[in-house]
Amino acid sequence: EAGVTQFPSHSVIEKGQTVTLRCDPISGHDNLYWYRRVMGKEIKFLLHFVKESKQDESGMPNNRFLAERTGGTYSTLKVQPAELEDSGVYFCASSQGRWSYQRSGNTIYFGEGSWLTVV
């Protein structure tokens, strides 16, 4: 079974430019999450999709970040315009059902992350 895949794995852009990160969840997983880890900090929640709907976007830092999941399959996270403090690792994760119930199918699986450096 293919895992959560993310693209690009690394990206270096200049301040003010735009970057779009892509995530392909595990096939059949309705729930898709974005998290990020900035230097020296813990991994933090950004938002949660259930199929194509945004369930919770309380972690999005500001309106320079836009996430979409058209058709309920893959998702994109766009940063426009990028700032220096946006540098970090952006993780995507997916789960089949609502993870909060103790069922193996509801485990959250993470991708390898997209490393973003803004210079």
Partner 1 sequence: EDKVVQSPLSLVVHEGDTVTLNCSYEVTNFRSLLWYKQEKKAPTFLFMLTSSGIEKKSGRLSSILDKKELFSILNITATQTGDSAVYLCAVGVYGGATNKLIFGTGTLLAVQP
Q: Which of 21, 10, 12 lies closest to 74 in space, CA to CA?
A: 21
Binding-residue pattern over the window 56 to 95 for partner 1, x denoting contact by CB under 8 A = x-xx-------------------------------x----
Interacting span for partner 1 (CB under 8 A) from 20-28, 39-47, 61-69, 80-88: 39-47
CB 11 within 8 Å of CB 115:
yes
CA distance 106 to 5: 18
CA 32 to mean position of chain CA atoms: 8
Closest approach, Cβ 52 to partner 1, in A, equals 15
73, 83, 112, 119: which one contacts partner 1 (CB under 8 A)?
112
Side-chain-side CA neighbours of 28 within 13 Å: the count stands at 7
Closest approach, Cβ 16 to partner 1, in A, equals 28
Token representation of residue 75: 């998702």
In the complex, which residues of this chain contact partner 1 (CB under 8 A)?
3-4, 31, 33, 35, 41-45, 48, 55-56, 58-59, 91, 98-100, 102, 107-113
